[in-house]
Amino acid sequence: MSRIEGVLQTLRSQGRKALIPFITAGDPHPDETVGLMHTMVDAGVDIIELGVPFSDPMADGPVIQLASERALKQGTTLRRVLAMVSEFRQSNDTTPVVLMGYLNPIEAMGYEAFADAAIEAGVDGVLTVDLPPEEADKVAPLFAQRGLDPIFLLAPTTTDERIRAISGHSSGYVYYVSFNGVTGAARINVEEVAARVAHIHELTALPVGVGFGIRDAETAAAVGQVSDGVIVGSVLVDTIARNQADIEALKLALTDLLNPMREALDSLAS
- Residues serving a catalytic function are 49, 60
The string of DSSP letters for the chain reads --HHHHHHHHHHHTT--EEEEEEETTSS-GGGHHHHHHHHHHTT-S-EEEE---S--TT--HHHHHHHHHHHHTT--HHHHHHHHHHHHTT-SSS-EEEEE-HHHHHHH-HHHHHHHHHHHT--EEEETT--GGG-TTHHHHHHHHTPEEE-EE-TT--HHHHHHHHHH--S-EEEESSSS-TT-S---HHHHHHHHHHHHHH--S-EEEESS--SHHHHHHHHTTSSEEEE-HHHHHHHHHTTT-HHHHHHHHHHHHHHHHHHHHTT--
